[in-house]
A and B are shown apart, each in its own frame.
Chain A
Amino acid sequence: MARLSGLQRDVLSLYRKCLREIRNKPEVDIGTIRLRRDIYRAEFQKHLSVNKKDFSTIEYLLRKGHRQLELYATPGIRNIR
């Protein structure tokens, strides 16, 4: 794999954070874990077509993703559909 740019690494790190967050939620069975992983995955896949030079869009999406993840990570939220 080619060396990743800083922005690409940020995206992967956000994805990693999302996956870690799944594990932090209580009472999960393997089916729910898969489902949540697919949800996060789909969210990232939606924007696969974004050009990697389109910095402002990627930065916007990153900010949006971080905010959304923060929301999901609050203990009051039990599940995502």
Chain B
Amino acid sequence: MFRSAIARSLKASAPRVIKTPAPFHIRSSPIAARVPQFTPCFAQGVRLYSAPAGLSKTEAEGRIVNLLKNFDKVSDASKINGASHFSNDLGLDSLDTVEVVMAIEEEFSIEIPDKEADQIHSVEKAVEYILAQPDGM
């Protein structure tokens, strides 16, 4: 009876002993390698506040191109690329352009004032504008 109680208390205390040092070890250390179930959940899936939040040019461009592909009024979907002009290449009129710019606003959760929105006529211009915004995401 005594022995089983000791075994039980050991069992109960054992994980606690392992758990406490785990977050302080980086993955390459031998102890962290022995208890791999703690490190991955700590290392992955967490975006630190100090992580760079910036938006790369290719990512912004890709998201706009995807958005245009889903837009039903584009006359020739094969012409959509990073340099397409809304009215010359894609056959959109001025009202469509307004719709595209609004969709871009929603996609990147920004608000584009009318003055700037009137200047955006191509994917290139839109990317340029978004990258200039501090709070685009």
Chain A residues packing against B (C-beta within 8 Å): 1, 4, 8-9, 12-13, 15-16, 19-20, 37, 41, 44-45
Contact = CB atoms under 8 A, between A and B. Distances in A.
B50 to A, nearest CB: 33
B114 A16 contact: yes
A16 B98 contact: yes
B87 A19 contact: no
Question: Main SS of chain A's interface residues?
Answer: helix
B94 interface: yes
A18 to B, nearest CB: 9
A16 B94 contact: no
Contacts of B97: 1
B87 A16 contact: no
Interface centre among A9, A13, A16 (most CB of B within 10 A): A16
Contact of B118 (A9, A37, A41, A44): A9
A16 B117 contact: yes
Nearest to A41: B95
